[in-house]
Amino acid sequence: MSGNIELLNTTLAAAKAADRAALIAYLPAGFPTVDGGIEAVKAVVAGGADVVEVGLPHSDPVLDGPVIQTADDIALRGGVRIADVMRTVREAYEATGVPILVMTYWNPIDRYGVERFTAELAEAGGAGCILPDLPVQESALWREHADKHSLATVFVVAPSSQDARLATITAAGSGFVYAASLMGVTGTRASVGAQAQDLVGRTRATIDLPVCVGLGVSNAAQAAEVAGFADGVIVGSAFVKAMLDAPDEAAGLAAVRSLAGELAEGVRKR
């Protein structure tokens, strides 16, 4: 079975044709439980998310701030495995029909086996992977298998990336480019900052792929601000915090659905 890179491409193109940015939601697999994580994905899509990133929990998440680290710890202590991540992708995709990507650090894929991981992700209906710590110059094996299985390879660029480096990174990617709005780890911020707009402009000068901005967006006003210059708005910590702060799972699901609705309204007000 082929992966769903084309669904990702058409979804982002449809948002652009509607003169708006796409809303991309991030949630870790296995949080608060495997079943609960699947229900959370359904909830954010019901609220208005266009694309979902499913996080593969990792014991040393270098890009992630304390909120997502807490959720990852809960998932890992619950015994989450790569098989559970694939199950989350499969059931979430079957239930929603939206593109589902996996966001993961490289080490778990390397240990699991690139061919096995890409084949299983494609079979589950996944659209691709976001790989924040895989250097482009070491990505040939991954990209070979991702291309074979019709999976997107999404690389992360940062405000510190020089223009020549940006061109190298974006030329190797597919699906979209993940632009980190600021230097540092994930988490909500009072302001997304001007660095993000500059980075989007510099990235667009190198490639025709959509450029989606993450790190720091947590409310409708920030989503509208970022949607004014980016093709997609990526929100993670705010959804995870809503789940963590809820008194029970049902309340958490209601909270993430409501937040997705507010953010979806925000991206339409660009």
53 assigned to active site: yes
- Cβ partners under 8 Å of residue 203, min gap 6: 157, 166, 170, 177, 179, 211
Q: In this structure, are residues 10 and 3 in contact, taking their beta carbons and an 8 Å threshold?
A: no
Instruction: Name residue 178's beta-bridge partners.
Output: 156, 212
Active-site choice (39, 50, 53, 225):
53
Torsion, Cα of 155, 46, 242, 200 (10° steps) = 30
Active-site choice (64, 72, 84, 120):
64
225 assigned to active site: no
DSSP string over 56-99? ---SS-TT--HHHHHHHHHHHHTT--HHHHHHHHHHHHHHH-S-
Catalytic residue ranges: 53, 64
